[in-house]
Amino acid sequence: MSDFEYAPAPESKAIANIKKDYGLFINGKFTSSHNKKRFETINPANEEVLAKISLADEVDIDKAVKAARSAYVKVWSKLSGKERAKYLFRIARLLQERSREFAVVETLDNGKPIRETRDIDIPLSAAHFFYHAGWADKLEFAGFGDKPKPHGVVAQIIPWNFPLLMLAWKIAPALATGNTVVLKPAETTPLTALLFAEVCQQADLPPGVVNIITGDGGTGAALVKHPDIDKVAFTGSTEVGKLIARSLAISNTPVTLELGGKGANIVFEDAPIDQAVEGIINGIFFNQGHVCCAGSRLLLQENIHDEFLNKLQKRMSKIRLGDPLDKNTDIGAINSAAQLAKIHELSSSGQAEGADIWSAPCQIPNKGFWFAPTIFTGVTQAHRIAREEIFGPVLSVLTFRTPQEAIEKANNTPFGLSAGVWTDKGSRILWAGNHLKAGVIWANTFNKFDPASPFGGYKESGWGREGGRHGLGAYLKGAM
Amino acid sequence: MSLDIKKTYKLFIAGAFPRSESGRSYEIRDKKGNFIANPAQASRKDLRDAVLAAKNAHSSWASATAYNRGQILYRIAEIMEGRSEQFVAEIMAMESVSSKQAQVQVRQAIDTWVWYAGWSDKISTIAGSTNPVAGSFFNFTVAEPLGVVGIVAEEKSSLLGVVLGLAPVLAAGNCAVLLASQKRPLSAITLAECLATSDVPAGVVNILTGLSDELTPHLASHMEIDGLDLSGVDGKSAAALRISSVDNLKRVHSFPSEKSPERILSFMEYKTLWHPIGV
């Protein structure tokens, strides 16, 4: 049988109504930044400029925090949970109505495949608002006391890997519990947050309840240091998370952190191999590996190593890398030049330290930022590629002989966000589940997310949980 | 006439009662300035030994059944009951309170163990959940012990403060390194003698006496300590300790002097497991 070639199936850009420039969203209105400074956001797949974005400074931050405070005191804290819920339901519906537009804009700004934004990022974002809407008038039943109280004004900083979804993870529970928000999206992916600001307007959300300020790392640092912030929520690197935690240690402002990971995906000899191969692929190549809970360390039981690797490489050769707007695309663009440089640096260290590199044969486009799906074999636990988060499509393969050794290796990291277990034996799943030090464990599956399921890490992967009943605690006083 | 046999107050590490490896001790006196005792003055090395002992004891304590842990916690209450006169006498000497007040405190401390003994096999039911995810998966969340918790106990009521710190940490399945009050350390050491005879496995609780300014910074910065209870530290010193505890993102908490399930959950970690459903 001859191979079928894939014809391009690009999603149209026409639906994305991206403006030339965007102001800051403060007190319900788009306003220009105090210092008139701008930066550009580009499409990482072709390096074309998408829009000019305002760079917020301390003056803008102060304005946004004041707007959030005033909205909290005068409006939001006086509103019943029932009415707050209605706003969140409205937002969920608006996101669903505009989902195709959001998917295209997210793909343009982030570089991730349209298949993922369409099927995962956007529907899950809407689901987060829908889920938390239902909590807004039931908080007294959530197990945080009879009269759970919000913090007040919450500062939220989100990363570039799932821009709208991370916004939803932050804003939905914060509003449901009665807080108001100043949110800063990542420097390289501000567009869907600004589109979301339009959604807030369409939902008639009272001005100041959600404020979106764009900028760089300096903007984020200034935001968390603002004296009138009652709570900080951050998703990003462990390094920055620690800086934030230290800067808030004196005031003892409550903080939740979703940080890095170095997830182990453990395949036992009795695992259904073909399913496991798919799971490993999804675990590390989903979203170009820009996933804090990625299964970036593959732990193979020694006796299936060769067979498994063979199948894995065969499967990797079928991965389609290219135009993120093409519905056939599996792997899109790396989000930024800086991230690409980081992946190259760590990948080079793997070679320099003696691991064997293999990359899937695929055509790398001329423009934009790209990295072919890559695996390293012969990796030891001392190698940097086994210890440090690469945050790219790079998998480190290690082996083990006994289940105990698998657990020991899996836990041998300061991180503790996720782990995967592949085996046909139920008791072994639960045994491994017991012993793995990770906040989320996927057994015979990987990278599954749901608003009803708490997400967050052990050890240096963070503080607190997001999602589910447990995630509400982060936004209620004294409840984390 | 026959002379009293005075007690030597030592450290409690890995189930043994060593002196400080540094050979140091310090004096404590009552309000009127009368000599009470020379407790051991623990060093940084003693603290590291205590953390190591706690770390080594953790996996078997965490994997003991919750029912078993509950019985051991209850056993501590039983053993304390038999030693209550000694606790009363020590509290009176250190805190200059009446015998009635001391008795009330001992009663509360013993009752606190009983209360937490009952929590050990219930906290997961209260805090865990099955989560109705939108897909064909079974998804559940359980609360698990964190690991090693450093405790600086509240010292106003020196025995009750220690028990309020230790009992929830043990009920959760954690191991503890407790820093006794510098001025009022005797209750903690006498409690250690109860723990040593209550089937609490060696290393699950380790108790240090000494100077808090010397020891608390090492407690906060030690990379093998996973959680910190700073209830006994005043606001200003707590801020500095919180900063150094960020090195390994310890879970740091302070609590009001009362018992609560939050004290257990604060040193537990939520784990969520997904598995596909299918034939």
Q: How far is CA A205 from CA A17, A72, A82, A88, A459, in A?
A: 22, 12, 14, 9, 37
Interface of B with A (CB under 8 A): 63, 126-127, 129, 131-135, 137, 139, 141, 226, 238-239, 242-243, 245-249, 251, 262, 269-276
- For residue range A362-417, what is the model confidence (pLDDT) as tens digits? 999 999 999 999 999 999 999 999 999 999 999 999 999 999 999 999 999 999 99
In A, minimum Cα distance to B245 occurs at: A246
Q: How far is CA A204 from CA A84, A129, A315, B12, B122, in A?
A: 12, 16, 48, 63, 45
8 Å CB contact between A104 and A50? no
Residue B221, min C-alpha distance to chain A (Å): 13
Residue A279, min C-alpha distance to chain B (Å): 12
- Which residues does B128 contact at the CB level (< 8 Å), separation at least 6? B140, B141, B142, B143
The whole-angstrom separation of Cα B251 and Cα A133 is: 30
Cβ-count burial of B219 within 10 angstroms (0-12 exposed, 13-18 middle, 19+ buried)?
buried
- pLDDT for residue A439 is more than 80: yes
**H or E element in which residue A153 lies:** strand A153-157
Residue A440, min C-alpha distance to chain B (Å): 5
The whole-angstrom separation of Cα B222 and Cα B202 is: 21
- For residue range A236-288, what is the model confidence (pLDDT) as tens digits? 999 999 999 999 999 999 999 999 999 999 999 999 999 999 999 999 999 99
Which three-class secondary structure state does DSSP give residue B276?
strand
Arithmetic mean of pLDDT, A327-340: 98
Identified catalytic residue from A116, A187, A258, A466: A258
The whole-angstrom separation of Cα A298 and Cα A286 is: 15
Task: Tell whether the torsion through CA atoms of A71, A74, A78 and A82 is positive or negative.
Answer: negative
Residue A417, min C-alpha distance to chain B (Å): 10
- pLDDT for residue A133 is more than 60: yes
The whole-angstrom separation of Cα A159 and Cα A257 is: 12
- pLDDT for residue A478 is more than 90: no
Of B129, B134, B271, the CB nearest to A441: B271
- Which residues does A112 contact at the CB level (< 8 Å), separation at least 6? A106, A121, A287, A288, A290, A324, A332, A333
Q: Which residues of chain A are within 8 Å of residue B129 when distances are taken between CB atoms?
A: 468-470
Concatenated DSSP letters of B40-51: B---HHHHHHHH
Q: Which residues of chain B are within 8 Å of residue A434 when distances are taken between CB atoms?
A: 63
- Detail the DSSP E strand segments found in chain B: 28-29, 35-37, 129-130, 137-145, 148-152, 175-179, 205-208, 227-229, 251-253, 268-276
In a mutagenesis test of the A interface, which of B272, B275, B279 is the best target, namely the one with the most A β-carbons within 10 Å? B272
Residue B190, min C-alpha distance to chain A (Å): 33
pLDDT of A150: 98
Concatenated DSSP letters of A286-305: GGGG--TT---EEEEEGGGH
Identified catalytic residue from A292, A293, A460, A466: A292
Q: Which residues of chain A are within 8 Å of residue B226 when distances are taken between CB atoms?
A: 459
Give residue A356's Cα distance to chain centre: 29
Q: Which residues of chain B are within 8 Å of residue A123 when distances are taken between CB atoms?
A: none
Residue A351, number of CB atoms within 10 A of its CB: 12
Which two tokens mark B262? Answer: 């939050």
Residue A446, number of CB atoms within 10 A of its CB: 28
Amino acid at A269: E
Would you call A258 a catalytic residue per the annotation? yes
The whole-angstrom separation of Cα B259 and Cα B165 is: 9
Contact B249 A438 (CB under 8 A): no
Contact A439 B134 (CB under 8 A): no
pLDDT of A186: 98
The pLDDT confidence band at residue A4, using thresholds 50, 70 and 90, is confident
The whole-angstrom separation of Cα A392 and Cα A395 is: 9
Cβ-count burial of B235 within 10 angstroms (0-12 exposed, 13-18 middle, 19+ buried)?
exposed
Report long-range pairs for A18-21 (Cβ below 8 Å, ≥24 apart). A18/A50, A18/A51, A18/A105, A18/A108, A18/A191, A19/A51, A20/A51, A20/A52, A21/A51, A21/A52, A21/A53, A21/A54
Contact A459 B249 (CB under 8 A): yes
Arithmetic mean of pLDDT, A56-77: 98
Question: How many CB pairs (< 8 A) connect A and B?
Answer: 100
Q: Which residues of chain A are within 8 Å of residue B272 when distances are taken between CB atoms?
A: 439-441, 453-455, 468
In B, minimum Cα distance to A413 occurs at: B248
From the list B58, B8, B111, B4, the residue with the least C-alpha distance to B267 is: B58
For residues A387-405, one letter each, b for 16 or more C-beta atoms within 10 angstroms of the residue's C-beta and e for the rest, the string is ebbbbbbbbbbbbbeebee
pLDDT of A334: 98
Arithmetic mean of pLDDT, A177-181: 98
Q: How far is CA A21 from CA A12, A195, A214, A238, in A?
A: 21, 12, 12, 32
Which two tokens mark B239? Answer: 């801020």
Residue A230, min C-alpha distance to chain B (Å): 17
The whole-angstrom separation of Cα A243 and Cα B123 is: 33
- Which residues does A326 contact at the CB level (< 8 Å), separation at least 6? A8, A9, A10, A11, A113, A114, A320
- For residue range A210-223, what is the model confidence (pLDDT) as tens digits? 999 999 999 999 99
This prediction has a pTM of 0.96
**Dihedral, CA atoms, A139, A142, A147, A151, nearest 10 degrees?**
-70
Q: Which residues of chain B are within 8 Å of residue A455 when distances are taken between CB atoms?
A: 272
- Residue matched to tokens 């005879």: B197
Residue B265, min C-alpha distance to chain A (Å): 9
State whether residue A439 sits within 8 Å of chain B by CB.
Answer: yes
Q: Which residues of chain A are within 8 Å of residue B247 when distances are taken between CB atoms?
A: 242
Contact B137 A445 (CB under 8 A): yes
Residue A345, min C-alpha distance to chain B (Å): 25
Contact A448 B270 (CB under 8 A): no
pLDDT of B236: 87
Of A238, A250, A448, the CB nearest to B274: A448
The whole-angstrom separation of Cα A384 and Cα A460 is: 17
The whole-angstrom separation of Cα A334 and Cα A226 is: 33
In a mutagenesis test of the B interface, which of A436, A445, A470 is the best target, namely the one with the most B β-carbons within 10 Å? A470
Amino acid at A478: G
Of A242, A252, A259, the CB nearest to B242: A252
Q: Which residues of chain B are within 8 Å of residue A241 when distances are taken between CB atoms?
A: 249
pLDDT of A480: 59
pLDDT of B155: 93
8 Å CB contact between A88 and A175? yes
Contact A453 B251 (CB under 8 A): no
Q: Which residues of chain B are within 8 Å of residue A433 when distances are taken between CB atoms?
A: 271, 273
Q: Which residues of chain A are within 8 Å of residue B133 when distances are taken between CB atoms?
A: 448, 450, 452-453
pLDDT of B279: 83
Average pLDDT, chain A: 97
Contact A442 B226 (CB under 8 A): no
- pLDDT tens sequence for chain B (279 residues): 789 888 889 999 999 999 999 999 999 998 899 999 999 999 999 999 999 999 999 999 999 999 999 999 999 999 999 999 999 999 999 999 999 999 999 999 999 999 999 999 999 999 999 999 999 999 999 999 999 999 999 999 999 999 999 999 999 999 999 999 999 999 999 999 999 999 999 999 999 999 999 999 999 999 999 999 999 999 889 999 999 999 999 999 999 999 999 999 999 999 999 999 998
Contact B272 A440 (CB under 8 A): yes
Cβ-count burial of A251 within 10 angstroms (0-12 exposed, 13-18 middle, 19+ buried)?
exposed
Contact B271 A440 (CB under 8 A): yes
- pLDDT for residue A1 is more than 70: no
pLDDT of B105: 98
pLDDT of A479: 75
